[in-house]
Amino acid sequence: MPSPEAPQTLFEKLWRAHEVRAEEGDAPAILYIDLHLVHEVTSPQGFDVLRARGIPVRQPSRTLATLDHSTPTSPPDASGRLHYVTEQAQLQVETLERNCEAFGIELQGWGSRHRGIVHVMGPEIGATQPGMTVVCGDSHTSTHGAFGALAFGIGTTEVGYVLATQCLLQRKPRTMRIHFDGALGPGVSAKDMALHTIRTIGVDGGTGHVIEYAGEAVRSLDMEGRMTLCNMTIEAGARAGMIAADEVTVEYLRGRERSPDGPAFAAAAERWLTFRSDPGAVFDREVSIDATSIQPTITWGTDPGMSSTLNGVLPAADTAGIERALQYMGLEAGHPLSGHPIDVVFIGSCTNGRIADLRAAAAIMAGRKVAPSVRALVVPGSVAVKNQAESEGLHRVFIEAGAEWREPGCSMCLAMNGDTVPPGKTAVSTSNRNFEGRQGTGARTMLASPSTAAACAIAGKLVDPRHIGDIAGGA
Amino acid sequence: MEAFTRLTGAILALPEENIDTDQIIPARFLTATRFEGLGEHVFADWRLDGNGAPSQDCPMNEPRAENSSILVAGRNFGCGSSREHAPYALMDFGFRVVISSEIADIFRNNALNIGLLSIVVPQSLHARLLELDGQEISVDLEACTLSVPGAGGDETFSFPMDGFARHCLLRGMDRLDFLLSYETAIKQHEERL
């Protein structure tokens, strides 16, 4: 173990600061959790454990809930009634409402201006802050690492542990730093960085590790971009991704609902800026990626590592995995990706459902029309994102282009609320997973950035967003 | 949690790599507010064809599947979503052990927390176990060994296992009791916040 004076990684600093008890022999460490985010899908059985034992939520003020996965994205009908996909989905939402009431937990529920996808809501209200440990029964909790926090997904049994004790039993993971050299080219986004990274290290390349992203291209990202990059970390098998806090982080948090106020903010900001790896800190693994080589990227297969640049060609079917993926996707080995027809475009999710993502999509769609063969959905990540977009007139851009402007939620990312891609249809999606059936039984998903998804919606086929002007004319 | 000490059971092999938890239990079955009964939907989209009829070529549909208690799956099993519904669905279907050359972190944690023994073995042994589809092997958690039929009789292999997970599984011990016993230390930490 390094001496206290030895340079420490950001991860090491956060880990040590949250150890209630260090790892010792067979016993794992007990790690204190500063913020526990809760949604309707992975929490009911956790609350049941508390109820069965007659114990309260240990720290209701460190617990924050919202409704996102099972919620409809169509507005209530004339009578104010919401149309859930099934009665069971409605029951699940009502169960969380009841649990929050019974256990004294703040819920960003129906009517709240912050209700939305849990990983959009937390940062948006300033609940996620540098130096924190953040968990949620959701693998994309890695998103919050963008703030210099240690954030990771847990299962429902562990949700119960955190509700009851505000703690988790954890083995210390290994560390990996991914350093992006140079700057991103024009028209290349954080999503392209994420897809490029997963293709580089593999969908299990990060297993057992916490990844810290560093380098000029990372520092140049806004907070939304950093969240996109950290969000996709789980798709490389690492539970947590993180980025050191800097002035961009501090400015994002200034004035947010749960951020400190007045002089307390300056003091907090000073502390936040210490959440970075010390010079000379040693990582278990180092990976370098040339950011200048990253191009707009899209997945063609059935895991997030199966991707290519938009101007690339499909690989030869030289493994059983590739063969199965190409067959499922209805694609032919060796064919170019560009020009492949598509049926659905989904812009939203915890990966790309924030205001910066909607602005990027609107910039492409402005003054253009969605191809008649394409159904395009734009689903803001939260009510606040929706309100902001409407105040900027982005919703009119989408609606005039022929896209659907829907209510906030996870929606078609995992398709459990009834928003599905039909069997055999191809969707370009700004979400995070292209697994078989992820967006509906038999649905074919291609993951891409908001710019790429918007460009494909206009073209009705796969296209590099940098070339949309050549195809659809100027905006 | 039910205790696990040793088990002799038949292997069901799913050699595909990167089997994600959306395959194990598709999201449309996640609206349940209880974990019971999910076995019915395990691998739902692999077991049913486009017309809702049972797929002929899915091993999970073979009569032997219901009597198989050991799932041997391709590398990086359980990747993707953190849904604990996945290990619950496998257990409810009848599996007590999952073996692969690599198991995704969150799935593995979840499985061990609920009593589904998840074992990572070296590639050579993994390849051999995949070939033993349908045959019986023995798993001994006390000794952390697998007994595998070979040409000259059974061969025994050790497997690595987290000491604490083993301790909990052998006793059927709930980790929440362990955590609750650290109340003083947790309180001390909270006083420093």
B31 lies in some domain: yes
- Identity of the amino acid at A170: Q
The radius of gyration computed from the CA coordinates of chain B, to the nearest angstrom, equals 18
Q: Which residues of A touch B80 (CB under 8 A)?
A: 139, 234-235, 433, 435
Domain that residue B73 falls in: 6-192
Give ipTM to 2 decimals.
0.97
How far off is chain A from B79, nearest CA to CA, in Å? Answer: 7
In a mutational test of the B interface, the residue from A143, A169, A239, A412 whose CB has the highest number of chain B CBs within 10 Å is: A169
Arithmetic mean of pLDDT, A151-164? 98
Listing from the earlier edge strand, what are the strands of the sheet with A375-378?
Answer: A404-405, A375-378, A344-347, A426-429, A444-447
User: Does B23 sit within 8 Å of A437, measured CB to CB?
Assistant: yes
For residues B10 and B67, the answer to whether their CB atoms sit within 8 Å is: yes
How far off is chain B from A259, nearest CA to CA, in Å? Answer: 16
pLDDT confidence bin for A27, thresholds 50/70/90: very high
What local confidence, expressed as pLDDT, does residue B52 receive? Answer: 85
pLDDT, tens digit (0-9, with 9 covering 90-100), for B155-170: 999 999 999 999 999 9
- For B31, the closest of A88, A155, A303 (CB atoms) is A88
pLDDT, tens digit (0-9, with 9 covering 90-100), for A357-401: 999 999 999 999 999 999 999 999 999 999 999 999 999 999 999
Report the C-alpha gap between A428 and A445 in whole angstroms: 6
A436 Cβ under 8 Å from any chain B Cβ: yes
Low-confidence ranges of chain B (pLDDT < 50): none
Report the C-alpha gap between A438 and A47 in whole angstroms: 27
Name residues whose C-beta falls within 8 Å of residue A467's C-beta, 6 or more positions apart in sequence.
A455
Name residues whose C-beta falls within 8 Å of residue A112's C-beta, 6 or more positions apart in sequence.
A66, A383
Q: Which residues of A touch B18 (CB under 8 A)?
A: 203-204, 303, 321
B94 lies in some domain: yes
A433 Cβ under 8 Å from any chain B Cβ: yes
Report the C-alpha gap between A249 and A272 in whole angstroms: 9
Is the per-residue pLDDT at A344 higher than 60?
Answer: yes
Cβ-based contacts under 8 A for chains A and B = 165
Q: What tokens does B32 get? A: 């349940």
Q: Which residues of A touch B27 (CB under 8 A)?
A: 414-416, 438
Structure letter (DSSP) for residue B179: H
How far off is chain B from A82, nearest CA to CA, in Å? Answer: 16
Q: Which residues of B touch A41 (CB under 8 A)?
A: 30-31, 83
Q: Is A285 exposed, middle or buried (0-12, 13-18, 19+ CB in 10 A)?
A: middle
A32 Cβ under 8 Å from any chain B Cβ: yes
B55 lies in some domain: yes
B67 lies in some domain: yes
User: Does A30 sit within 8 Å of B182, measured CB to CB?
Assistant: yes
Closest of A330, A279, A280, A259 to residue A300, by C-alpha: A330
Report the C-alpha gap between B81 and A152 in whole angstroms: 12
pLDDT confidence bin for A470, thresholds 50/70/90: confident
B54 lies in some domain: yes
Name residues whose C-beta falls within 8 Å of residue A251's C-beta, 6 or more positions apart in sequence.
none
Question: Quick one: closest CA in B to A410, which residue?
Answer: B27
- The helix or strand, by DSSP H or E, that contains position A469, with its residue range, turns out to be helix A468-472
How far off is chain A from B66, nearest CA to CA, in Å? Answer: 24
For residues B129 and A176, the answer to whether their CB atoms sit within 8 Å is: no
B128 lies in some domain: yes
List of domains in chain A? 10-170 (3.30.499.10), 174-293 (3.40.1060.10), 299-472 (3.30.499.10)
What local confidence, expressed as pLDDT, does residue B148 receive? Answer: 97
For residues A462 and A448, the answer to whether their CB atoms sit within 8 Å is: no
What local confidence, expressed as pLDDT, does residue B49 receive? Answer: 86
pTM for the complete prediction? 0.97
- The helix or strand, by DSSP H or E, that contains position B107, with its residue range, turns out to be helix B105-114
How many domains does chain B fold into? Answer: 1
CATH number at residue B126: 3.20.19.10
B83 lies in some domain: yes
User: Does A95 sit within 8 Å of B113, measured CB to CB?
Assistant: no
B107 lies in some domain: yes
Q: What tokens does A425 get? A: 């249809």
How far off is chain A from B64, nearest CA to CA, in Å? Answer: 25
What local confidence, expressed as pLDDT, does residue B50 receive? Answer: 79
Question: Quick one: closest CA in B to A418, which residue?
Answer: B28
